[in-house]
Each structure stands twice: as structure tokens, then as C-alpha cells.
Structure 1
Amino acid sequence: MTGQDFAGEWRGVDLGTRTVDYTERDAILYALAVGAAAADLDLVFEERLRVLPTFALTLAQWAPDALGERGAFDVRTAVHGAQRLEVLGPLPRFGSLTMKASVAEVWDKGSAAVFEVAVESDCFAATWVLFAPGRGGFGGERGPAGPEPQRTAPEHRLAVATSPNQAALYRLLGDRHHMHIDPAAAEAAGQPKPFLHGLCSLAATTLAVAQRYDAHPADLRRLTGRFAGPVFPGDELSVGCWGSDASAVAFAAEVGERTVLTGGEVGFG
């Protein structure tokens, strides 16, 4: 199905099923791209490897890309607004992952439409929330409001550094949208320069939260985050955390005075 006149007509569209192969090398490259260190042997050494659950999101990148390729929105200006992930089982160190995808919802924000792309597999269920300027105004429901900000001071404050080359490295894992590497494409998307993938900054934050709460990042069970502003390669995130143990932690992040992640929730166990 292509060329719908109204964004709302995409609701319920089947995006198909795909099986994606991956190797230990891919899982290790992913861990390094989101901030794992050489000393984290169970993330970067094949003899001890535990695959980060968020790696599955790179394997499923075909699903939101397929929606854009079918003409639901302008891929040059649409941005990743939020992400949800539920982990159903561990990813093997290597192998194949079969996934099915569909458009779960389309919300009308007036000047833009918000598409929710749902992907399911035996190992995870995830939803991409995509903000598409110029596709709203079709008379649909506005959908849920954004997350309420935390009303208390964070219980912990973490510093999460990013590398100047991090977007160039992360894009090799599948999300090759030009806005993350090409200054002209970034400008077309409304940014002054190429910016880091939201899923990369979210995964890097998850690693830091796991360390602070004495959890193993491969024990991730659920993750939610909203991308409130751009992170540029080389930025340092200041992450505020709320929660007494690793089973339920809320978080938000800023770069300087700029909010970049809101409504974050993560659980390990």
C-alpha cells in the first residue's frame, strides 16, 4: 500500500515479516558503538559475550524505514520521537531473528503526524514513535500527552560522554539516515549539524544507569524514552535518575541547559 492521501489511513498497515541474520561481531560492534569499554569483556569479547537487548532495535530498523519508503512521510524531515522496548528473552550470541511489523497507531498533532511502528519477535516487542512534520491536520485523535516532568530532585546524577565519531560508528549498524552524517541532510531536518541517533544516546544512558544501580545491562527487561532534543557527537549528557533499585528507574537527561531525554523508564532483573 502506497500513496495514502491522509496519514491516518496508514493505521493498521502490515509492514511484513523479515528474518535478519547477525554475528558475534555485529553484537560486539554495537556494544562498542553505544559506549561499552574494552574492559567490559562480557559485552565485547566473544568468549564471554552477552548480547545487549537494545541491539535488537538495530536489527529491526528495517520496519520504520519500510514505512518511510512506502511514502507515509518525508524521510528527510521525519525524526524519531520516542522508543519503547519490552525484552521477552535473551538474544543468542549469533543467529537469526524473525520479526513482524505493523503501523499500530497514527496520531494527529496538527502540524505533524505521529506514527507508531510496532515490531514483534520471540525475543522482544518494540514500538518506534516517529514524528512527521507536515502530515498532520487529517482530523484524527491527538493521542497521549507527553510525559510529566519529575517534581523532585534526582536521587543520582550521572555523566554520560559521547564521542565525536559516535554517530559515524553507530550508523554502520543499520540506521544510515543521512541526517546523522551529512551536514546538508541535518540542516534539512532542522539541525545545525549531524546529530547522534536517539537509540544510541538512549542505549548509552541505559549502560550508565545499569552500572550505577549494580545491574548487568544484558539483564534489561524494559526501556522507554522520549527524544526531546538533539544530542551532537561529543556532547556529555547529564542524566538524572529516580528509583531505589534496578527494577524500576526513571530518568531524564540534559546537555547543558538543553533537555534531550524525557520520560525515561528502565528496569533490570
Structure 2
Amino acid sequence: MNASPWEGRALGTRTVSWTERDAILYALAVGAPADRLDLVYEERLRVLPTFALTLAQWAPDALGELGAFNVTTAVHGSQRLLVHRPLEPSGELTTTARVSAVRDKGAAAVFDVEVSCDRFTATWSIFAPGCGGFGGERGPSVPRRPDRPADHTLSVVTHARQAAFYRLLGDRHAMHIDPDAATAAGMDRPFLHGLCTLAASLFPLADALGVHPAELAELEARFAAPAFPGDRLGLSGWAGAPGDDSPGRDMPGDDSAGDRAVRFEAMAEDGRAVLTGGRARFRTTIPDPTENPDA
């Protein structure tokens, strides 16, 4: 098997910072209600773990700027997040990025961009048409949905201004706000950021599992199709204890006793699959964000 010349490429290091205002704006942008004071009020603020993805967005953008793929045709294929420790309400982190893998899909390639720091490891999988055919490995197949009825049938309600709010957090690609740019990307109107849709899905899942959304420890999902601002999505969840033969058994770190794991998928009202292969694990005990794990 041949390897892509981009595989293993270092993308540099960047120091990122945030304030309470950023964390609150993020929570509101992904659908937190105004009465969830622990998510939207600085006096008792807990930062949603998926906020970390806005801090690391620079890395996949940097790879596109280097010319690895055509930024007008490449799409965000899937996302993974491993939370090492919670984020404080405000702070600063040094993040390092690299191309951890490039998979050959024939007519396209998938670039895995990994961003790491002491608080999280996040991996973007970017599907890039026209970049395959170099003789590399295809990579893993799409995860299959559990072969049993869903344990939870839920809904995700988006709102008409959601993409306009979310783009203020760093992902300002024009296709999410400009109808002409959306048309050029093959859509009939601006569409919601996949990471916004994914984060919004975690609220009903956490409620169904009886956990707090800030207790997220691991997350993975594929973006099968975009949602549009104002869509109501049907969300199916298959719950299971970490380590069993149902949801979450193959998620790293699932040996934590008492954690809650779930597989999930989201469907649009017209039957389109929006999120597939979703997997999440929530801790039942939050580690102290100021604790030094190496002490």
C-alpha cells in the first residue's frame, strides 16, 4: 500500500484562548435554553466539552490552505473527540495538529486531522473529492446501526438563526450564511454546520441518559447530510453499559465503571440521514479541571 505524502504532516502549534462570554455564546448557539444557568450564566458556568472543537478549528482550515484538497468541494465527513479534562470557564491552551492518516477512497481521499492538548484530542475527517487513487488503504467501513429497536426516540429542534450564530464561533465558511455560496456547494440554501447539529443532539441524549451534557467524555459521528436551520430532527439512541456487547463497546476508555454510553443517529423529517454512526460516552463523575493528572 502506498501512503499519501500528506500523511504524518505536522500542521504546527497554536495557542488558543477563550473567555466566559465565548463559552456562553457557544452554549446558546448549539441550543442550550436560557434557563440552563450552569451553561449560560457566568456565576455557575460549566463549559460544554464540544466547545473545544471551536478552539481547534484552525487545524483543518490550515491543511486546506496548504493545498491538500480543494476547499470548495471538500466536506467534513466525521468528527471524533476525546475529553481528557474539562475546560475552565476561561483560559488558554497550546494545541498541536498533524495529519494522522490519509485514506484512499478511490475517487476521493479522507484526511484525518488530529488536534491534541492536555484537555482534549479532536480528529476531523475531511472527505476530499479528486484526491484519491494513490494506492493507500481505504480505512474502516461505516459503523452499522444496532440491530434492535432504539431505547430512546427523541427530537432535536434547530432554529432559523442557528447557523448565523454558530459561525461567530470561528467557522465562517460562506456556505452557512450566503445563498450563492451554498448553491456553489450543491445546496439550495445555507445549511447548518455539522458540528452545531452534533452538539445540539447531545442535549436530548444527555437528558434521556440522566446525565449532564458537560459530562461528555467521548464522541464520534459521521455527517451523512446537512441539516438546515429550522429543521426538526428525529434522534434515535441505543443505550448500553460500557464494555458490553451493545453500544460503546469499542470506544476507547469505556472501562470506566458507571459511565453511560449510547449510540445514536439523527434523521431529517424528509427521511434523510443527517448523523450516522454516532457514539457518545458520558462520565458520571466530573474530574477537577485544575487537577494535574501527572501529579
Aligned partner of residue 167 in structure 1, secondary structure: helix
> What is the alpha-carbon distance in structure 1 between the residues aligned to residue 216 and residue 21 of structure 2?
21
Aligned counterpart in structure 2 of residue 48 of structure 1, from 18, 38, 44: 44
Aligned counterparts of 1:189 and 1:143: Cα–Cα separation in 2:
26
Contact 2:106 / 2:132 at 8 angstroms: preserved in 1? Answer: yes
Equivalent of residue 247 in structure 1, options 237, 242, 260: 260
Identify which range, 146-155 or 172-181, moves more after superposition: 146-155
CA distance in 1, matches of 2:113, 2:23: 23
CA distance in structure 2 between the partners assigned to 1:184 and 1:237 by the alignment: 25
Query: Partners of 1:248 and 1:149 in 2: how far apart?
Result: 15
Is 1:265 matched up with 2:279?
Answer: yes
**For residues 71-117 of structure 1, what are the alpha-carbon distances to aligned partners after superposition, in whole Å with 9 as ceiling and x for unaligned?**
11111111110000010001011011110000000111111110000
Q: Deviations over 1:156-190 (max 9, x none)?
A: 11111001110111000001111111122222222
Are positions 1:230 and 2:244 aligned together? no
1:46-85 pair list within 5 angstroms: 46-85=42-81
Distance 2:89 2:145 in 1: 38
For this pair of structures, how many residues does the alignment match? 264
Residue in structure 1 matched with residue 85 of structure 2 by the alignment: 89
Q: Give me the whole-angstrom Cα distance separating, in 2, the residues matched to 1:167 and 1:115.
A: 25
Tell me how far apart the structure 2 counterparts of residues 7 and 39 of structure 1 sit (CA, whole Å). 51
Distance (whole Å) between structure 1 residues aligned to residue 225 and residue 118 of structure 2: 32
CA displacement at 1:194 relative to structure 2 = 1.1
Q: Which residue of structure 2 aligns with residue 165 of structure 1? A: 161
2:206 is aligned with 1:217? no
The alignment status of 1:142 with 2:138, answered yes or no, reads yes
Q: Contact 2:3–2:136 at 8 Å: present in 1 too?
A: no
Letter in 2 for 1:34: V
| 8 Å contact kept, 1:7–1:113 | no
Q: Which runs of 5+ in 2 are unaligned?
A: 242-258, 284-295
Range moving further from structure 2, 73-82 or 179-188? 179-188
Per-residue Cα deviation, 1:122-147 (whole angstroms, up to 9, x for no partner)? 10011100011111122211111111
CA RMSD across the alignment: 1.3
Counterpart check, 1:39 vs 2:35:
yes
Q: Distance in 1 between matches of 2:196 and 2:86?
A: 20
Given that residues 87 and 125 in structure 1 are in contact (C-alpha distance below 8 angstroms), is that contact kept between their aligned partners in structure 2? yes
Instruction: Decide whether the 8 Å contact of 2:209 with 2:260 is kept in 1.
Output: no
2:190 maps to which of 194, 199, 209 = 194
Other-structure match for 2:129 = 133
Instruction: Give TM-score scaled by structure 2 length.
Output: 0.87
AA at the equivalent of 2:264 = F
Displacement of 1:150 after TM fit? 2.5
The runs of at least 4 aligned residues of structure 1 exceeding 6 Å deviation read none
